[in-house]
Chains A and B, each alone.
Chain A
Amino acid sequence: MTIKIAQLSCGTEYSSVQYEIEKAARSVGAKVVYPDVSYADINDSLKRFGFNPRSPQLKLMIARAVSLADGKYDADAVFITTCFRCAEAALVRNELRRFIQDNTRLPVVTYSFTERLKAAQLLTRMEALVTIVTRKELLARERQTGITVGLDSGSSTTKAIVMENNKILGKDWTPSGDVVKSAQLVLESALKQAGMEMSQVEAIGTTGYGRFTLGKHYGAKLVQEELTVNSKGAVWLADRQRGEATILDIGGMDNKAITVRDGVPDNFTMGGICAGASGRFLEMTAKRLKIEITELGRLADSGDWRNAKMNSYCSVFGIQDLVTTLGEGKSFEDVAAAACHSVAEQVYEQQLQEIDVRHPIIEVGGTSLISGLVKAVGEVLGEKPIVPPDSQYIGAVGGALLSSGFL
């Protein structure tokens, strides 16, 4: 079964990225399709949608979205993409995403591209769209059964979880180095903690950047991208498997904001243009302050970001701000708080504007252990996020939970 991903776009063919989009879709067994519309449909659709942009290609995008919403064209998922930095397109992109969500149950992902876009950057997003369509039953799984292991090979850390009959028995993490060696290290430790041997493990699920390598190495039953796996892990850990929620994962290299309904994602956004607002910026801040990243949160808790203005929009300039601020004699506490606040602000401005935030907000990932960041996210969003126990293990828990579906 080939999954049909409807592309609603402007500028891809003139930005030399259309080939990369189609390549990414092909690599996950999907096909990019373009809803057919007639000239008359375009004008009618614009009237119905109520927004008439000046650019004809955006008018076409709207007509294609209306065609999907009216069920005139059949597709399994929707990919909405426009040029980075185009204001008119950004308005249309976001409103169309909302329109599709209001009128269909199709999973949607939005993306703003530059000419440097490569298929690899879209791989996780396309894979997630395909997973949501093809693995509906698996994603609906709410209980882990048997003895399974989840391995999350992230850009910053590698995590392992051992679960038996819906309980976590062993867990460990380490900074990511060699993909296999890092996984071996944490897996051995987690198994030891669980009092188990590898031979007892009935299924393994892998996720994260190193998922394919680990999947092959361990003969994993589940090799799946982190957007859907993390969502399952997050709602399981937070005990919010039913209803709606927003999962916020400020990662080491990119951030993810995912809206879920009954634990299944239906819209997500993933940072990609810039890593300035990711956990990496906090790592750089901690290094400059000559403290461990684990101390940064506590330090930030007792500081006031208003005393030390900092902007992590670009991590290089952000660090420049940090150096200047320290040079002015500001306290480490205020600087740490400012760094956390800056990342929270950027996540709000870059990620959360691309989705409709649903409540509650579940903050997960390694950065959710930085209390100062959680506080800053709460301040920026006006709502305290839920941080479940073992929140840094979402990917590994999701892997263990979903892989038990193959038993």
Chain B
Amino acid sequence: MKVFIDPPNSLILYDLVERFGHEPLGAMASIQERIDNIELDLPPMNVTLDDVVKGLKYAGVEVPSGIRGRLALWGPLIDQADAALIMLDPPFNFGCVGCERSNEMVRYLIRRRGIPALSVAYPGNEAEAKVSVGRIKEFLEGLK
């Protein structure tokens, strides 16, 4: 199944989804597709004006361009996701898209789709980390 991860650029969540036999939907694939297939040379994120305009599907024109650009990347992934895995309140070196308003909208879009979603709090220590990974494992194994 296709599982959207939030934060979308979390390597740990990406790896966990892959390990348990699902296809992770995250930033890496989205950016890679722009570099490989569209051959866009607009680093660092390869977002184009067209993308930002496409972001209007998810947020109105009065919403800052940076949010629409982000939603143009993550929105289509959420649209095609069968499930979602969300890490709540992670520190930004765990993975982040830089804008809290975008993060809120991403979580709302997941909720609006009504797909199975697991939200886990960012663990504060090793024991909590084990519990979190256990919950994620259980969730991913339960997806059919």
Contacts and interface: CB of A to CB of B under 8 A. Distances in A.
A13 B45 CA distance: 6
Given A83-B66, A84-B64, A85-B64, A115 B98 contact: no
Given A10-B98, A115-B49, A59 B92 contact: yes
Interface in B85-100: 92-93, 96-100
Interface stretch (A49-57, A316-324, A344-352): A49-57
Contacts of B62: 85
A86 B100 contact: no
Interface in B45-80: 45, 47-49, 51-53, 62-70, 73
Interface residues of B, number: 28
Interface in A58-100: 59-60, 82-86, 88-89
A18 B64 contact: no
Interface residues of A, number: 30
Contacts, number: 90
B127 interface: no
A85 B60 CA distance: 12
Given A55-B99, A55-B100, A11 B64 contact: yes
A115 B73 CA distance: 15
Given A83-B66, A84-B65, A115 B53 contact: yes
A18 B44 contact: yes
B65 A39 contact: no
Given A14-B70, A57-B98, A85 B63 contact: yes
A143 B120 CA distance: 69
Question: Of B66, B96, B98, which is in contact with the most chain A CB atoms at under 10 Å from its CB?
Answer: B66
Given A10-B99, A16-B51, A85-B64, A115 B69 contact: yes
Contacts of A10: 66, 98-99
A10 B101 CA distance: 12
Interface in A1-56: 10-19, 39, 42, 53-56
A116 B53 CA distance: 10
A15 B42 contact: no
A113 interface: yes
A114 interface: yes
Interface of A: 10-19, 39, 42, 53-57, 59-60, 82-86, 88-89, 113-116
24 contacts: A10-B66, A11-B66, A12-B66, A14-B45, A14-B65, A14-B70, A14-B73, A15-B69, A16-B65, A18-B43, A18-B44, A55-B99, A55-B101, A56-B96, A56-B99, A59-B92, A83-B65, A83-B67, A84-B65, A86-B64, A88-B100, A115-B52, A115-B53, A115-B69
Given A11-B98, A15-B64, A88-B101, 20 more contacts: A10-B98, A11-B65, A11-B69, A11-B99, A14-B45, A14-B47, A14-B66, A14-B67, A14-B69, A14-B97, A16-B69, A18-B45, A39-B93, A42-B92, A55-B100, A59-B92, A83-B66, A85-B62, A85-B64, A116-B49
